[in-house]
Amino acid sequence: MKIPSVKGTRDFYPPVMAVRNFLVDGWKAASRRSGFEEYDGPIFEHLMMYQVKSGEEIVEQLFHLTDRGGRELAIRPEITPTLARMVGQQINSLPRPIKWFSVPRLCRAERPQKGRLREFFQWNLDIVGVADPLADAEVIFTTLDYLAGVGLGPADVQARISSRRLLAAYLRGLGLDESRLDAVYPVLDKKPKVPPDAFEEMLRTCVPEEAIAVGIHRFMELTDPADLAGLSLSDGTQAEAFEAARRELADVMRWLDRMGMGAYCRFDPGIVRGLAYYTGVVFEVHEATGSLRAICGGGRYDNLLADFGGPAMPATGMGMGDCVLEILLREKGLLADDLPTRRLDWTVCCLDEALMETAVEAVAALRRSGRAADMAYKPAGLGKQLKWAAAAHAGRVAILGREFLEDRRIIIKDMQTGEQKGVDFDRFLSGHYDD
RNA sequence: GUGGAAGUAGCUCAGUCGGCUAGAGCACCAGAUUGUGGUUCUGGGGGUCGCGGGUUCAAGUCCCGUCUUCCACCCCA
């Protein structure tokens, strides 16, 4: 009986695995360049962990199971709750600042579509314990540093940055009650994604008050953060909060400019982020034409640790999935379609059955010395073996043939230059591989 | 969860009005090739035509169901 693969999953055959490694290795390298440390957690957690801050619908999109002890568990759909748990458990002994990254494998029981599967990898960056806008800027910088490193310029991708705190202060300042904010966020989040009149209708349904709706429009149409100063709020307390959030956002933009990423960044009041998760600066990186879904998203979530029963602790972070990124890189021609699946320093060509033992000895010696080396299981024509060596991206080839039978010499061929020379096999075997 | 399209070799696909033993290219394996690199030529393996049912003398082809994939919604931590 033939068993099919599971809906929304991928098989990573070596060439596909090479692509995945290309993405993951790049993520890890960028993280380390910015001083982040790697962590990971278990692939499943108590179901409750995801019910704490999520609604029914999100729980429906979890793969959940009951273990033999009756525990309700779920495969992780994100790693931030795990991070919050891990940090909370050892908060008093962890050196600060906590700058951690991870590339977890995540699962969500959603319907697969372009740029979204049921199992995927996601690069996560988080800085815990730093309220300074410099930390937000550093998360965004590291994200952009990676994207720049794989060849995406400011004409290809743009970081759209805004602030939940700014928006909240503004909405309260317009007279919108605190309790209604969570209902308004998803509507504003939709603005760039739906036609103007559809947005208008959603907004009016949610905010019937003419004056408030007009005020929201004024805010949503801004493009220059400097214009924020021109928005006046009659409520003194909110005006103060608004001003504080405005400075904070301006600081983030200023730091990013200093970090050489100014061309990638712009203020976009349409960046709200769907759920009531974020508390301050929020951002998304989009492909310039906006044809794909967001490449990544993140922001400040100062309440999350406390929500998970930990201490109050400021935090800011980012998540980037592999699916959309791969589509984008492919579209832009930035993904080689022949990434090597292995890279050998040496292959050994054995041309004579009588030399098989010597060939195996040579391969093993190379391997024991730390070099990647391989050989065929049976002697074969030199042409065929060189073809195989080229396909395996071998740097050099050691040829065991008639020279060995004559006077124990082997031929070493450099596959880049094509140059070759004869060397004494015993000298070679005693460690002179690179002479 | 809703709607649309598609499923034929490992991959990309052809297969006429329902009619002969279901084909091509690529890939893979072997040989030509008994010592020099992704060339060329020859040969080979590989198919329950997604699966199940129906109509028919006859189904890859028509009908129904189902599964999977892709696309658009819902949602997006």
Q: Residue A20 maps to which CATH number? A: 3.30.930.10
Domain-located, residue A363: yes
Task: Provide mean pLDDT across the span A250-266.
Answer: 97
Q: CA of A40: how far to CAs of A76, A100, A122, A123, A271, in Å? A: 12, 10, 12, 11, 29
Q: Using the CB atom, is residue A168 less than 7 Å from strand B?
A: no
- Which nucleotide is the nearest neighbour of A61, by CA and C1'? B75
A 10 A CB-CB count for A70 gives 6
Q: In terms of domains, do A379 and A272 share one?
A: no
The domain of A416 spans 346-429
Residue A393's pLDDT is: 87
Q: Are residues A313 and A352 in the same domain?
A: no
In Å, the largest CA–CA distance within chain A is 98
CA of A361 to C1' of B39 (A): 34
- Three-state secondary structure readout of A247-313: HHHHHHHHHHHHCCCHHHEEECCCCCCCCCCCCCEEEEEEECCCCCCCCEEEEECCCHHHHCCCCCC
Q: What is the pLDDT of residue A427?
A: 95
The SS3 of residue A139 is: helix
Q: Does A127 share its domain with A275? A: yes
What residues contact residue A297 under an 8 Å CB cut-off, 6+ apart?
A273, A282, A283, A284, A285, A318, A319
**pLDDT tens, residue by residue, A156-166:** 999 999 999 99
Q: What mean pLDDT do residues A229-258 have?
A: 91
A61 beta carbon to strand B: under 7 Å: yes
A58 within a domain of the structure (yes/no): no
Rounded to an integer, what distance in angstroms lies between the CA atom of residue A252 and that of residue A268? 13
Pairing of strands A281-287, A296-300: antiparallel
**Domain co-membership, A233 together with A103:** yes
Chosen domain end from A331, A359, A384: A331
In this prediction, residues A130-140 reach a mean pLDDT of 97
A175 touches strand B (CB under 7 A): no
Judge if A86 and A232 occupy the same domain.
yes
User: Which nucleotide lies closest to A278 by the C1' atom and the CA atom?
Assistant: B77
Residue A387 CB lies within 7 Å of the nucleic strand B: yes
Is A60 contained in some domain?
A: no
Per-residue confidence (pLDDT) for residue A1, from 0 to 100:
55
Lowest mean pLDDT among A146-155, A326-335, A423-432: A326-335
- Segment of A124-138, A296-310, A343-357 carrying the highest mean pLDDT: A124-138
In a domain, A9, yes or no: no
Q: Does residue A191 approach strand B to less than 7 Å at its CB?
A: no
Average pLDDT of the residues in A185-202: 82
A197-236 residues near strand B (Cβ < 7 Å): none
Mean pLDDT calculated for residue range A406-420: 92
Residues found in chain A: 435
Same domain, A326 and A359: no
Indicate whether A327 and A370 sit together in one domain: no
Does the structure's ipTM exceed the value 0.90? no
A356 with A322, same domain?
A: no
Domain count, chain A: 2
Task: Kindly provide the b/e burial profile for residues A263-297, where b requires at least 16 CB atoms within 10 angstroms of the residue's own CB.
Answer: ebbbbbbbbbbeeebbbbbbbbbbbeeeebbbbbb
Residue A392 placed within a domain: yes
| Confidence at residue A276, expressed as pLDDT on a 0 to 100 scale | 67
**CATH number of the domain encompassing residue A400:** 3.40.50.800
Residue-level pLDDT at A56: 60
Sign of the Cα torsion A82, A83, A88, A90 reads: positive
Closest CA to A410 of A361, A343, A370: A361
Chain B nucleotides covered by protein, CB below 7 Å: 1-2, 33-38, 67-77
